[in-house]
């Protein structure tokens, strides 16, 4: 599943070519997780603004065309989620869609295309980030990992209010967004924390180490283009490389890089968790 690093890598790949681009056509393929919310033709005539990200969502603001004599298009914007297997590609020219290409936004500079084999992704129009459906979906998200307002003290305080196993809590995005399965496993390993430890039992020093590990893991993933386990590629078709550096994720039975004990795997909330029993204490 594309997580925060993959979504941010995608944003960086499409932001510049889309900024100021005029929408000339839009196409819907098979139904996605949620409906678009407007007719595709309503998007025509708008200009794309600065693409931003919140958690695993991308926001593509659509502005009125700055020519008063022309149709204003559809002001508001598009909230995009890549789901379980989606990716956004940028093409200099639109070409015939394949069976898993479910949305095209065609501009005077090129075409943005959502490919999603499992169709859990979504492209939704919203009147703004403060209006539904965008406001409803984004309201559930915790702090961004690199937000200066997220301090070790506030992170620890949030953990103290929850008895959930720390791995599951990280995946839920309530205390910090972006630590998907691979990154949660790696951050917990770096911090020396067992994935099944209840969040409210984590001390202040350990919480500080965990927050630093989450930030370090995500920063490194961004540097190498995210992770490609199955389907993900950036907007220009380049796969991520973080999975090749993982210390524990996907390494069941292989030696821990710190102590050489075999890496273990267990299932938490229907997700595979990888950890070292010797290095990660409860």
Give per-residue burial for 230-245: e unless 16+ CB within 10 Å, then b: ebbbbbeeeebebbee
Whole-angstrom Cα distance, residue 58 to residue 49?
Answer: 12
Q: Which of 2, 5, 145, 195 is catalytic?
A: 2
Cα–Cα distances in Å, from 279 out to 145, 162, 231, 237?
Answer: 24, 24, 32, 37
Whole-angstrom Cα distance, residue 171 to residue 184?
Answer: 7
Token couple for 86: 């989606």
Whole-angstrom Cα distance, residue 113 to residue 150?
Answer: 34
Reply yes or no on whether 3 is catalytic.
Answer: yes
Q: Which of 54, 204, 271, 277 is catalytic?
A: 271
Tell how strand 52-54 and strand 23-28 pair up: unpaired
Reply yes or no on whether 251 is catalytic.
Answer: no
Reply yes or no on whether 56 is catalytic.
Answer: yes
Q: Which of 53, 56, 113, 264 is catalytic?
A: 56
Cα–Cα distances in Å, from 255 out to 68, 182, 246, 271?
Answer: 66, 18, 12, 21
| Crossing angle for the helix pair 204-223 and 152-160, to the nearest 10 degrees | 110
| Residues 75 and 64 sit within 8 Å (Cβ to Cβ) | yes
> Cis bond leading into 252, ω under 30°?
no
Reply yes or no on whether 40 is catalytic.
Answer: no
Active-site residue list: 2-3, 56, 271
């Amino acid at each position: 599943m594309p997580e925060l690093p993959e979504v941010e890598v995608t944003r960086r790949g499409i932001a510049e070519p889309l900024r100021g681009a005029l929408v000339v056509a839009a196409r819907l393929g098979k139904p996605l997780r949620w409906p678009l919310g407007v007719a595709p033709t309503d998007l025509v005539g708008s200009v794309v603004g600065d693409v931003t990200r919140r958690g695993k969502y991308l926001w593509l603001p659509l502005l009125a065309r700055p020519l008063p004599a022309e149709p204003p298009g559809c002001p508001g914007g598009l909230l995009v989620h890549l789901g379980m297997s989606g990716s956004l590609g940028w093409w200099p020219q639109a070409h015939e869609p394949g069976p898993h290409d479910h949305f095209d936004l065609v501009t005077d500079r090129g075409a943005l295309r959502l490919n999603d084999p499992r169709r859990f992704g979504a492209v939704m129009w919203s009147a703004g980030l403060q209006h539904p459906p965008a406001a409803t979906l984004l309201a559930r998200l915790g702090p961004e990992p690199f937000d200066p307002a997220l301090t070790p003290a506030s992170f620890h305080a949030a953990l103290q209010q929850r008895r959930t196993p720390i791995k599951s809590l990280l995946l839920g995005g309530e205390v910090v967004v972006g630590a998907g399965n691979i990154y949660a496993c790696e951050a917990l390993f770096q911090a020396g924390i067992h994935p099944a430890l209840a969040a409210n039992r984590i001390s202040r020093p350990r919480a500080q180490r965990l927050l630093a590990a989450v930030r370090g893991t995500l920063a490194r993933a961004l540097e190498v283009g995210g992770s490609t386990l199955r389907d993900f590629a950036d907007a220009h078709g380049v796969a991520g490389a973080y999975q090749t550096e993982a210390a524990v994720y996907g390494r069941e039975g292989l030696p821990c890089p710190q102590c050489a004990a075999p890496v273990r795997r267990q299932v938490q909330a229907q997700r595979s968790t990888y950890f070292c029993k010797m290095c990660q204490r409860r």
